[in-house]
Amino acid sequence: MVIGAGSGSTGGGIKWIRIGIMVKSVWWEIKSFLLPQRAVISRKVHHIKTINADDNLLKLTGLFVFVYLMVYIISSIIVMFYYHNVSQVLFEVASAVSNVGLTSSLITSTSPVIVKLTFIADMWIGRLEIWPVLLLLAIGVSNILRR
């Protein structure tokens, strides 16, 4: 659920293109350690068209994966305060953040409000993806700080 959606799909989670970029960036770094400093390493990713993977793309991809995993971990910790079945909690949170829609019936209408709000936030962040949510939060915080 966390990894599996295609880059053109509406599924949430870490898209396959991001996983490909992350794996290839590890390979490019290994090559840069093994080859002489003046060696030119071709950093291209082919998805529909060939993309030159510059440092900015690698940084944004790594940051996306990091923030996604942080949302997953923090949400899991919040829910584990109320439910102690770790495997069910991890499954439910992964389903919520990835917008898969699967459930193990852990969350019900009688669940605590904080758990419901956590899952609402997870589903919202997963559906919109992380960048629009971070942009919205940054604009909101900057407006508050300006006052």
Torsion of CA 80, 83, 87, 90, to 10 degrees: -50
Q: How far apart are CA 18 and CA 71, in angstroms?
A: 17
Residue 107: what are its φ and ψ, rounded to 5°?
A: -95, 130
State the pLDDT at residue 77. Answer: 97
Nearest CA to 81 among 105, 113, 51?
113
pLDDT in tens, 120-144: 999 998 888 888 888 888 899 998 9
pLDDT in tens, 5-35: 777 777 778 888 888 889 999 998 898 888 8
**Ranges of each domain in the chain:** 16-146
pLDDT in tens, 49-66: 888 888 888 898 899 899
State the pLDDT at residue 11. Answer: 73
Q: How far apart are CA 108 and CA 139, in angstroms?
A: 34
Name the CATH architecture for the domain at 16-146: Orthogonal Bundle (1.10)
